[in-house]
C-alpha cells in the first residue's frame, strides 16, 4: 500500500484541457446511452424522460423538494416507507433550480444529475491521472461511463452527485488540501448514507499523514509540508484537523436530526431504514438470496453469475491493494463495497450502489492504458454499445428501485 504522497494540483484551466479527452469521451458514451433509451422507449410507447426523472427514487427526491420531510407510505404488510430515508442535498438543489428558473423539481433533478455526472467524470479523471497518468485517467472515466448500470448517471438520482463529491474529496486528499477535502466530505455526507465511506477515507489519510510526519520528525528528517505551500507544520496540522472535523458533519448532522424528528434518538435513522427493509447484516440476506437461486436449473445460472460478479469485485479490490493504490482510495472503495454487498436492501439495486466505488475500476483502466489505443478503443466501444442497450432494456423493464 503506497504512502500518502501529496503534490500540488494543476491550475484549473490546464486541468480542464488535460481532462478534455476524458470528458468528451464520457459525454459521447452518455449520449449513446440516452439515444438508445429514447429509441427503445419510443418503440414501447413509453416516455424516456419520465423514466429518467419521475420513477422510483426520483419521485421520492421530488416529494422532499416539494413537500419537505414527513411524507410516508404505509404498506399492507405494515412496512412504513418514509422520505426521511433520503438525504437532503439533491432535493435542496432541485428546490434551488426550481426557485431560480422555470424548471420543475424533476427537471432540476435531471439538470443536477447531468452536471454532476460531468463533474464526477472530471473528478475520476483527476484522481486516476494523479495516481497513474493521463491515459489511465481517460480509461477510468470511460470504464465508469460504460458500466451496464451507467444509465443511472443520467437519472434524477443522487449517485452522480455523490460520486462527484467523493471523487473530488479524494483528489483534495491526494493533493494535500485538507480543508477542501473536509468540506466536500461534509457535502457528500448530506447526499447518501454511504457518505461515511468518504469520511473514513479523509480520516484514514489524515491519521496516516500525521503518523508519517511524526516518524520523520523522530528520525530527524523534518516535517512534511504540502507541495506548493509554505506554511509550517503547525499550520498544516491545523488544516488537517479542521478537515477531519468538517468531514463527518454532513452525515452526523442529518442522522441526528432524523433521530430528533422521530423521537428515537441517535438510532432513529436506522429505524427509518428498517421500514424500507434496509439494514446491515454482514451479507447474510444476500448470501441466502444467491443460495436460493440454485433451487432450479434456470435460476442456478443467475446464481452462478452473481457469485462470479461478487468474486470479480473482490478480485478488483485485491488487485488494487497489490498495486499499492493510495490509502484513501482503498478505504473509500472498501467501505462502499462492504456497505453495498453486506446490506439487506433490495438485491437488484446492488450494482447501482457499487457504482460510486470507481477506484475498483483503476486496475482495469491501468491495463487498458497499457494497450494500443486502437485495441483500447475497440474494447470500450463494444462495452459502450452493450451498456447502452442494457440500460435501455433495464429502465424499460424492472429498472432501479
User: For 15-65, how does the pLDDT look when each residue is reduced to its tens digit (9 = 90+)?
Assistant: 889 999 999 999 999 999 999 999 999 999 999 999 999 989 999 999 999
197, pLDDT greater than 90:
yes
How far apart, in whole angstroms, are the C-alpha atoms of residue 79 and residue 264?
17
Report domain extents, the chain.
Answer: 12-276+372-395
Q: What average pLDDT score do residues 254-283 get?
A: 91
How far apart, in whole angstroms, are the C-alpha atoms of residue 256 and residue 260?
6
Q: What average pLDDT score do residues 366-387 get?
A: 96
User: For 311-361, how does the pLDDT look when each residue is reduced to its tens digit (9 = 90+)?
Assistant: 999 999 999 999 999 999 999 999 999 999 998 777 778 899 999 999 999
Which grid cell sits at 286? 444476500
With cut-offs at 50, 70 and 90, classify the pLDDT of residue 223.
Answer: very low
How far apart, in whole angstroms, are the C-alpha atoms of residue 283 and residue 96?
38
How far apart, in whole angstroms, are the C-alpha atoms of residue 213 and residue 61?
44
With cut-offs at 50, 70 and 90, classify the pLDDT of residue 220.
Answer: low
Report pLDDT for 299. 82
Report pLDDT for 278. 87
Q: What average pLDDT score do residues 109-123 get?
A: 98
Percent of the chain, pLDDT > 90?
75
With cut-offs at 50, 70 and 90, classify the pLDDT of residue 222.
Answer: very low
Report pLDDT for 76. 87
Percent of the chain, pLDDT > 70?
94
225, pLDDT greater than 60:
no
* CB neighbours of residue 363 within 10 Å: 22
With cut-offs at 50, 70 and 90, classify the pLDDT of residue 398.
Answer: confident
Report pLDDT for 36. 98
Residues whose CB falls within 8 Å of the CB of residue 78, separated by 6 or more in sequence, listed in order: none
DSSP structural state of residue 293: G
User: For 270-288, how does the pLDDT look when each residue is reduced to its tens digit (9 = 90+)?
Assistant: 999 999 988 888 888 888 8
Which grid cell sits at 54? 419521475
Which of 56-65, 107-116, 165-174, 259-268 shows the lowest mean pLDDT across its residues?
Answer: 259-268
Which grid cell sits at 324? 499499492
- Burial group, residue 76, by CB count within 10 angstroms (0-12, 13-18, 19+): exposed
Report pLDDT for 198. 98
Which of 21-25, 142-146, 154-158, 338-342 shows the lowest mean pLDDT across its residues?
Answer: 338-342
229, pLDDT greater than 50:
no
Q: What average pLDDT score do residues 223-250 get?
A: 76
217, pLDDT greater than 50:
yes
For the chain, the average pLDDT equals 91
Amino acid at each position: 500500500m503506497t504512502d500518502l504522497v501529496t503534490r500540488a494540483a494543476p491550475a484549473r484551466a490546464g486541468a480542464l484541457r488535460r481532462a478534455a479527452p476524458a470528458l468528451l469521451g464520457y459525454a459521447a458514451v452518455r449520449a449513446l446511452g440516452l439515444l438508445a433509451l429514447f429509441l427503445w422507449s419510443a418503440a414501447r410507447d413509453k416516455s424516456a424522460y419520465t423514466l429518467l426523472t419521475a420513477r422510483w427514487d426520483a419521485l421520492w427526491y421530488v416529494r422532499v423538494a416539494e413537500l419537505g420531510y414527513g411524507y410516508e407510505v404505509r404498506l399492507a404488510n405494515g412496512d412504513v416507507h418514509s422520505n426521511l430515508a433520503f438525504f437532503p442535498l439533491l432535493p435542496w438543489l432541485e428546490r434551488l433550480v426550481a426557485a431560480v428558473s422555470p424548471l420543475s423539481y424533476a427537471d432540476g433533478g435531471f439538470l443536477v444529475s447531468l452536471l454532476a455526472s460531468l463533474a464526477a467524470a472530471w473528478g475520476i479523471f483527476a484522481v486516476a491521472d494523479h495516481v497513474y497518468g493521463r491515459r489511465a485517467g481517460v480509461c477510468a472515466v470511460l470504464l465508469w461511463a460504460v458500466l451496464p448500470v451507467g444509465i443511472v448517471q443520467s437519472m434524477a438520482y443522487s449517485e452522480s452527485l455523490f460520486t462527484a463529491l467523493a471523487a473530488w474529496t479524494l483528489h483534495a486528499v491526494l493533493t494535500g488540501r485538507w480543508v477542501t477535502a473536509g468540506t466536500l466530505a461534509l457535502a457528500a455526507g448530506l447526499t447518501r448514507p454511504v457518505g461515511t465511506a468518504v469520511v473514513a477515507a479523509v480520516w484514514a489519510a489524515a491519521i496516516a499523514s500525521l503518523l508519517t510526519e511524526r516518524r520523520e520528525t523522530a528520525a530527524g528528517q523534518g516535517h512534511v509540508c504540502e507541495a506548493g505551500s509554505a506554511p509550517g507544520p503547525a499550520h498544516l496540522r491545523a488544516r488537517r484537523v479542521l478537515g477531519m472535523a468538517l468531514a463527518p458533519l454532513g452525515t452526523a448532522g442529518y442522522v441526528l436530526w432524523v433521530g430528533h424528528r422521530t423521537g428515537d434518538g441517535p438510532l432513529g435513522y436506522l429505524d427509518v431504514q428498517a421500514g424500507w427493509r434496509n439494514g446491515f447484516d454482514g451479507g447474510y440476506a444476500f448470501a441466502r438470496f444467491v443460495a436460493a437461486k440454485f433451487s432450479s436449473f434456470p435460476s442456478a445460472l443467475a446464481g452462478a453469475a452473481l457469485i462470479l460478479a461478487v468474486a470479480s469485485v473482490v478480485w478488483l479490490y485485491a488487485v488494487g491493494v497489490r498495486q499499492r493504490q493510495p490509502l484513501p482510495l482503498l478505504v473509500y472503495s472498501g467501505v462502499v463495497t462492504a456497505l453495498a454487498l453486506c446490506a439487506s436492501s433490495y438485491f437488484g439495486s446492488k450494482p447501482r450502489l457499487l457504482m460510486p466505488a470507481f477506484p475498483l475500476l483503476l486496475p482495469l483502466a491501468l491495463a487498458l492504458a497499457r494497450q494500443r489505443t486502437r485495441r483500447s478503443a475497440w474494447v470500450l466501444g463494444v462495452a459502450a454499445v452493450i451498456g447502452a442497450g442494457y440500460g435501455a432494456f433495464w429502465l424499460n423493464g424492472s429498472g432501479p428501485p
